[in-house]
Amino acid sequence: MFSVPVETALYELLGVSTTATEDEIKKAYRKKVRRCTSLLNPDDPEAGQRFQEMAAAYEILSSVETREAYDRYGMEGMSRGGAGGGFGPGMDPADIFAELFGASMGFGFDFGPGSRGPRRRKGEDSNIPYEVTLEDLYNGKTVKMNMEKEVVCGVCKGSGAKGSAKPKQCVKCEGKGWTMVTTSLGGRLGTHRAMCTECEGHGEKLREKDRCKKCKGNKTVKEKTRQEIYIERGMADRQRIVLAGAGDEEPGIPPGDVIFTLKTKPHDSFERSGSDLLTTVHITLSEALLGFSRILLTHLDGRGVHVTSPKGKIIKPGDSIVLRGEGMPHYKTPDHKGNLYVMLEIDMPEESWLKTIDPQALEAILPPKKPEMDPKPAVVDEVPFEASDIVDVRETPFPAGSNFFDHPSGFQFGDGDEADWEDDEDDEDGEPECRPQ
Ligand SMILES: [Zn+2]
Ligand SMILES: [Zn+2]
């Protein structure tokens, strides 16, 4: 930071100048990642690679020591095991991600082997989205599932080698663990160091014939396991259930975690808002006028909920009631529950019903109709009565059949950089960050 950096590839990757402040670097990284995830296709390995590169660049540039080492020596100063100005405790990009975005990453992106960043302090976490019903979250549930995970090979104890065979220096990178690659960043060509694909950054490699027979040199083998998770009463949507150490094993570092992220399926009759629930119950016109005393609804645990309306109360359109303590259980203190809000919708009788009664008798008992306007306006027009659907009028901003994007008004929606709509501080040319270049 005090002299001209020997290398600038990491700065270019994040799109900041070499004199950027810590804050600017953090901001730039967040922005890149945010855009990255909005474009992220979990099946696209290059997107993962790209994200990984950005995470690595951020890790290096966000700490004063590593940034100084990078400015002075370039990636050379960052190489594996580089003493002194090397990495602090290695950080999993997934951890950085979690730190930036909380527990909200539910897309199950897997940082698979071969795309790993710098040194990590533990094995890969397995992120598994898990769908639950509102009933599951209300009642609690134990789920058993069969899974497969990587375990350290028992034959070679994780060395990957047959007997006492030792790995040989990688020919491709001459033991450095990286090679120079040319990439295009924002239209400019640049070279930077990338992990050697031959030895996966290790700098050395076992010869075919020296590899362990069981794991074929992979150091780990797949093993079937049975996992059990307990969905506790009152857990939230997107809440994570972490099985610490139940994830993939890698030699020399503690195993990763298995992380289930709950995703609530929409419910047919209940909506949840924190610890409260919302539902709609239909009542008849007579119930609205004369009251009711009946089972209004079936709850998420199958219980009938019986409610009696107060004597002499008329229920009007738009009225709602609150059933105290009939909401969701509080997480960890499930005996405490939120409230259940019930919208009462009044169903008017069918027209066929009118034919079965004497309208004059009905008129005699109902409150009187509205009297004629007094004084009467000087001009009165007769306009025909025609039924319509006001909902349609409100929900269609443009005439039916017209396309939002080629509306004849001359608006040019979708033309140009759409990212400007999402991110007003975005000042770039809209080049996608996570797509293969
Ligand atoms: Zn083995
Ligand atoms: Zn190599």
pLDDT of residue 49: 66
Residue 425: inside a domain? no
| d(CA 256, ligand 1 centre) in Å | 20
Q: Please calculate the CA angle 30-35-38 and round it to the nearest 5 degrees.
A: 125
Q: Alpha-carbon Rg of the chain, whole angstroms?
A: 32
pLDDT tens per residue across span 340-393: 999 999 999 999 999 999 999 999 999 999 999 999 999 999 999 999 877 666
HSE-CB for 27 with a 13 A CA cutoff: 11
pLDDT tens per residue across span 297-307: 999 999 999 99
The residue range of the domain holding 135 is: 124-167+206-266
CA distance 100 to 222: 32
> Of the candidates 266, 282, 304, which is a domain's last residue?
266
| d(CA 195, ligand 2 centre) in Å | 8
Residues of the chain with pLDDT under 50: 1-2, 38, 40, 79-118, 400-437
Do residues 318 and 336 both lie within one domain?
yes
What CATH number should be reported for the domain holding residue 243?
A: 2.60.260.20
Do residues 316 and 345 both lie within one domain?
yes
Do residues 320 and 297 both lie within one domain?
yes
| d(CA 115, ligand 1 centre) in Å | 22
- Please count the structural domains in the chain: 2
Residue 296: inside a domain? yes
> Of the candidates 331, 347, 365, which is a domain's last residue?
365
Protein residues placing their CB within 5 Å of the ion ligand 1: 153, 155-156, 212, 214-215
Protein residues placing their CB within 5 Å of the ion ligand 2: 170, 172-173, 196, 198-199
Do residues 156 and 235 both lie within one domain?
yes
**Average pLDDT over all residues of the chain:** 79
Ligand positioned closest to the Cα atom of 156? 1
